[in-house]
């Protein structure tokens, strides 16, 4: 099982948590922790083997311990896969990549569906055949209704995590708030360098020697949410804006896939405007 | 010898330049060129062996060819080393690094001196003993006079290239203009992400997963000049602002050293707000 | 059009080639050259605009020039796409990746077919529907016949380039010789570190901190052909052999895709046991 | 204080260690652990605040706990700096780099001396003035005596860690055994690619596209000890063997500095032929 927790720091947290698990016959397989000395918050992720333990009792008892320490916490059986909804637009390289990784077992999740503002035939060359597809077109006028539909879909499908796989639409503040900590976006630029439209063209005009991408949690401010993962690639004066877009696709898909995998494995903990990512 | 040139693109430039060299018994050892299809400017760097040729005649004749093609150009014997003035402040990691690389023959230049707003004993642990040291303290009130002194020094020492090795002072617009294309600064941040003071602290507050540094030509706008070289390193939530400063030092010194080496080998050509860097 | 050439170095090659193009009304858009001072070989790649020129005459005339300079050369209209045959095995991440990149126009080629020693349904989740699929099973006993069939297929489909996209079969010396300079393999390890089977397991046992992949031309010695492209990723003690295999997939597919793109754009020139790669 | 430990895995180790610290009023600031499921060994590093605790009692009591769990362990006050002896040869870029980092406070250690088989004036341009310098020339015939002298020096100076900063001499099996886990070498190549002399020349001849360096613990087999840190840089056909040597210097010094810093902060635990490195 995977336990994550965060709470105000104080003496004995590790001792209490590890004693709790030990007394219930659980064996810790991996544990990482972080003590943010600036904010006084403590973060921990524990992977443990709970074969002998009564899961319901474990959860109930831990709740009592957690309340005493003012913890935010999650406890999940690794066999229970997260349910993930993928939102895409006409640029489908991230969508194709995530679906491929899912099929070969690299991303342990259940895909609850694919949502796009473009019709299904846009993705004819990606194998989506056993996945529910939802065409939810959106315009400025219909955004409110479309988001309502989207939210209904998220609820009906019991979706845990929403991935904006180059969705190209800004979620409203209201919907963003509902999805706090469970909606991941890929920003096609090394944040916070080039905001706004066509960041690769901006990067080209500026003559930068590196371009990058950022995966982050969605908040009201589209490109300013807590960053989960970033990467860059070297470019040169020979690269046209189109070359940057091509190289950018490679960075975007690997950054988004990494960020999603971290999230699926409960490695990402929110720390205010930042994240704690317990990487492997 | 090394020839660099830029001019409006037109047919036959390579043919004319290479025929010019061939007819004078010169052998091209390396050549790189770039045709900027956006701006219509053409850029070229040619390294050639001119053993048989009369250097003065070569230069004179090339001037005639260049005029006809509206070229900006430079022609330099590789044996003539550039004369470089190093400006530092109390953070001396870039200064120490450049001096070491110069001593072991990695940077082919003559150092005309070291300038600092701190006294010589600040650098007691760096071997500057055979280098002229100039203590030019500066305050808001004396900046004008200090820059006049600096400019006089640049002229008297026949300095070709000025390196701001973490100089921590913004050159005035006037002095920047005089040093166009021959003053290199290292900006301790991945441009244009975090402007202003304490960029590593800003990066930490934002929770980024990569930090970097940029070497660029100085223009009136300190951190916005044409970028020559950039690099990044991966960081994590465990890194304190002090860790970022430490990692930043490593990036800064290697980025500045690379940029300076490119400049010393005439690999950097100005292209408006950008550079063309013919790397090896 | 793209011209590539290599020949023993001598004075005036650039002058002669550029004069040749200029006289025929061609405009050089990009040119890179390299003078290997160890072997005395000269290498050049020229991209030029030949709108006015008679292609057949151009080719014929260039042949005369080339003969005089003992050149190996190629001249190709960029509109004529290379014909590429993809060979795969049960690990299909490179195959899926190349087909996706081809569909979105990132790899300018015509795919002449997909060959595998596994049946078509192995690839049901990749969109191969408009591509000829050839199931050519192979055993130790039938290798000779299978390679004969493969060679026949290469000839019948007028295939220019063969890509071993994790084909997992060693081509015989005879077939390798026939495909010299036009068969690219991806070796799932940072050459020449870990030869033989299960390189990621070897890397894990050795406790390395970086793993990588190499794309290279196939020669008789499977993993020793001229290297075209390599890349690495950082790993840690937490990574199991399975994690290395997963991270390896990412490196393999981007290294193979880059190498193939370089080859499709005539950027790769053979230089004995090495390559000259004129990257963008 | 920093506690490191390794022992056969069993339930309750974390619980016992953290309870031990909690009961003695210690506050855990950082902890990382790793359970090697292949070998059944458990590894842990704990940084804690022990202000109230009696250090001697802490150490004594922990010894009792450790014996019961068959631990190898270390417990160190962060204020007690390791004593480090630097061994160099005529290539002094790593030596100069380590000394500089030490002077600016980046490497928390006491340097017990510098040993070289070259005389002191070799290093005239590095500021070694307050460091004991030992000229210990070595030939095949005098190696035995020289190592005896070196060992005596290590003992007399109470040296904890020996750094081969491009020492260019293979330590004998006997001396290597005495220095197990406390002697770090920088190997000027990406292990285990190019063994033997002139690895950069070998890499050049092979036409690789990346070169690297490895820092590792010294064992009897010079380049085969447990790897602590590695890094690479991209190269191209334009790079001569001399360029590779230059780029190699940059990689070597940053890899060695990182490895040493990890060791000084007790982040490196031996795991058979491998290391567990609890990075920051």
pLDDT of residue A195: 64
Alpha-carbon distance of B219 to B170, in angstroms, equals 10
Alpha-carbon distance of B184 to B255, in angstroms, equals 11
Tokens of C133: 């699929």
pLDDT of residue B195: 63
Q: Residue C164 pLDDT more than 80?
A: yes
SS3 A31: strand
DSSP character for D277?
A: E
Q: Residue A36 pLDDT more than 80?
A: yes
ipTM value for the complex: 0.91
**Dihedral of CA D196/D200/D204/D206: which sign?**
positive
- The per-residue pLDDT for range C69-98, each reduced to its tens digit, is 999 999 999 999 999 999 999 999 999 999
**Band of pLDDT at residue A192, cut at 50, 70 and 90:** very low
C68: exposed, middle or buried (Cβ count in 10 Å: 0-12, 13-18, 19+): exposed
Q: How many CA atoms lie within 13 A of D103 on its CB side?
A: 21
Annotated catalytic residue A223: yes
Kind and range of the H or E element at D184?
A: strand D183-187
Residue in C closest to A251 by C-alpha: C254
**B96/D100 Cβ within 8 A:** yes
DSSP character for A123?
A: G
Q: What mean pLDDT comes out for the span D243-254? A: 94
CB count within 10 Å of CB D261 equals 20
Q: Is B73 left (phi over 0), alpha (psi -120 to 50) or beta?
A: beta
Nearest-by-Cβ selection for D209 from C206, C229, C273: C229
Query: What DSSP letter does each residue of A26-53 carry, written as one string?
Result: -EEEEEEEEEETTTTEEEEEEEEE-TTS
DSSP character for B194?
A: S
| Percent of chain A surpassing pLDDT 70 | 96
SS3 C14: helix
Q: What mean pLDDT comes out for the span A11-17? A: 92
CB D107 within 8 A of CB D263: no
CB count within 10 Å of CB C5 equals 22
Chain B: closest CA distance from residue D178 (Å)? 33
Residues of A in contact with C243 (CB under 8 A): 280
Radius of gyration of chain C (CA): 20
Nearest-by-Cβ selection for C22 from B15, B22, B35: B15
Residues of D in contact with A35 (CB under 8 A): 28-30
Residues of B in contact with D236 (CB under 8 A): 280
**Band of pLDDT at residue C195, cut at 50, 70 and 90:** low
Q: What mean pLDDT comes out for the span A116-138? A: 94
Q: Which residue has the tokens 């016959």?
A: A25
Nearest-by-Cβ selection for B93 from D96, D104, D124: D104
Q: Which among A92, A97, A160, A223 is annotated as catalytic?
A: A223
Q: Residue A227 pLDDT more than 60?
A: yes
Residues of C in contact with B32 (CB under 8 A): 32-33
Chain D: closest CA distance from residue B42 (Å)? 22
Q: What totals of helices (H) and strands (E) does chain A contain, helices first?
A: 7, 13
CA distances from C274 to B169, D208, D209, D212, D247 (A): 48, 8, 10, 19, 20
**A238/C30 Cβ within 8 A:** yes
Q: Residue D98 pLDDT more than 50?
A: yes
CB C230 within 8 A of CB D208: yes
* Higher-scoring residue by pLDDT: A192, C223: C223
Residue in D closest to C268 by C-alpha: D237
Q: Residue A244 pLDDT more than 70?
A: yes
Tokens of C38: 């160890």
**D210/C277 Cβ within 8 A:** no
| Percent of chain C surpassing pLDDT 70 | 96
Q: Beta strands A82-88 and A161-165: pairing type?
A: parallel
pLDDT of residue C191: 46
CB count within 10 Å of CB B135 equals 13
Kind and range of the H or E element at B21?
A: helix B13-23
* Higher-scoring residue by pLDDT: B159, D10: B159
Q: What mean pLDDT comes out for the span A246-252? A: 95
CB A232 within 8 A of CB B232: yes
Chain D: closest CA distance from residue A271 (Å)? 17
Cis peptide before A192 (omega within 30 of 0): yes
Alpha-carbon distance of D221 to D201, in angstroms, equals 22
CA-nearest of B276, B232, B212, B205 to B43 is B276
Q: Which residues contact D138 (CB under 8 A, 6 or more apart)?
A: D117, D146, D169
Q: Which residues contact A74 (CB under 8 A, 6 or more apart)?
A: A2, A3, A4, A5, A266
Q: Residue D189 pLDDT more than 80?
A: no
**C190/D209 Cβ within 8 A:** no
DSSP character for B24?
A: T
CA-nearest of C36, C27, C30, C33 to C14 is C33
CB C163 within 8 A of CB C258: no
Cis peptide before A280 (omega within 30 of 0): no
Q: What mean pLDDT comes out for the span C233-259? A: 94
Residue in D closest to A48 by C-alpha: D11
Mean pLDDT of the residues in chain C: 92
pLDDT of residue B192: 47
pLDDT of residue A222: 56
CB D98 within 8 A of CB D126: no
In this complex, the chains that touch D, judged by 3 or more CB pairs closer than 8 A, are: A, B, C
Alpha-carbon distance of C269 to D176, in angstroms, equals 46
Tokens of D262: 């990890």
**D243/B106 Cβ within 8 A:** no
Provide the b/e sequence for B33-60 (b: ≥16 CB within 10 Å).
bbbbeeeebbbbbbbbebeebeeeebee
CB C3 within 8 A of CB C49: no
- Among C15, C24, C26, the strongest candidate for a mutation testing the B interface, having the largest count of B CBs within 10 A, is C15
Chain B: closest CA distance from residue A196 (Å)? 14
Nearest-by-Cβ selection for A125 from C30, C127, C243: C127
Calculated CA dihedral for residues D195, D190, D246, C256, nearest 10 degrees: 120
Tokens of B35: 């045709």
Q: How many CB pairs under 8 A join B and D?
A: 34
Alpha-carbon distance of D2 to B273, in angstroms, equals 51
Most confident of A26-35, A56-65, A186-195: A56-65
**Band of pLDDT at residue D275, cut at 50, 70 and 90:** very high
Tokens of D94: 């790593």
CA distances from C220 to C136, C177, C223 (A): 21, 7, 9
pLDDT of residue C194: 61
Tokens of D16: 């016992």
Alpha-carbon distance of C227 to C268, in angstroms, equals 10
- The per-residue pLDDT for range C269-278, each reduced to its tens digit, is 999 999 999 9
CA-nearest of B68, B160, B76 to B113 is B160
Kind and range of the H or E element at B102?
A: helix B93-103
Q: What mean pLDDT comes out for the span D154-172? A: 95
* Higher-scoring residue by pLDDT: A30, C145: C145
Residues of A in contact with C249 (CB under 8 A): 106
Residue in A closest to D50 by C-alpha: A11
* Higher-scoring residue by pLDDT: B221, A45: A45
**Dihedral of CA A250/A256/A261/A267: which sign?**
positive
Model-wide pTM > 0.90: yes
What stretches in chain B show pLDDT beneath 70?
190-196, 221-223
CB A134 within 8 A of CB A113: yes
**Band of pLDDT at residue D194, cut at 50, 70 and 90:** low
Q: Which residues contact C121 (CB under 8 A, 6 or more apart)?
A: none
In this complex, the chains that touch B, judged by 3 or more CB pairs closer than 8 A, are: A, C, D
Q: Which among B92, B97, B223, B239 is annotated as catalytic?
A: B223
CB A35 within 8 A of CB B237: no
Q: How many CA atoms lie within 13 A of D86 on its CB side?
A: 26
């Amino acid at each position: 099982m995977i336990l994550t927790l965060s709470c105000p720091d104080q003496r004995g947290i590790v001792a209490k948590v590890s004693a709790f698990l030990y007394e219930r016959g659980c064996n810790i397989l991996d544990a990482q922790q972080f003590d943010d000395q600036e904010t006084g918050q403590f973060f921990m992720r524990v992977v443990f083997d709970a074969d002998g333990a009564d899961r319901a009792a474990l959860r109930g008892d831990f709740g009592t311990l957690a309340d005493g320490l003012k913890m935010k916490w999650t406890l999940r059986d690794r066999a229970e896969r997260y349910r993930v909804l993928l939102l895409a637009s006409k640029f489908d390289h991230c969508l194709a990549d995530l679906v491929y990784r899912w099929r070969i077992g690299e991303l342990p999740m259940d895909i609850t569906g694919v949502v796009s503002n473009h019709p299904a035939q846009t993705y004819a060359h990606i194998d989506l055949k056993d996945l529910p597809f939802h065409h939810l077109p959106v315009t400025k006028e219909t955004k409110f209704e479309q988001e309502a539909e989207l939210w209904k879909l998220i609820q009906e499908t019991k979706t845990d995590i929403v991935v904006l796989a180059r969705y190209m639409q800004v979620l409203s503040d209201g919907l963003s708030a509902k999805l706090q900590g469970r909606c991941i976006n890929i920003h096609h630029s090394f944040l916070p360098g080039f905001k706004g439209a066509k960041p690769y063209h901006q990067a080209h005009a500026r003559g930068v020697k590196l371009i990058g991408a950022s995966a982050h949690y969605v908040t009201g401010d589209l490109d300013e949410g807590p960053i989960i993962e970033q990467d860059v690639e070297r470019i040169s004066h020979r690269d046209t804006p189109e070359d940057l877009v091509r190289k950018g696709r490679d960075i975007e898909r690997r950054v988004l896939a990494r960020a999603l995998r971290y999230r699926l494995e409960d490695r990402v903990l929110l720390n205010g405007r930042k994240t704690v990512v317990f990487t492997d």
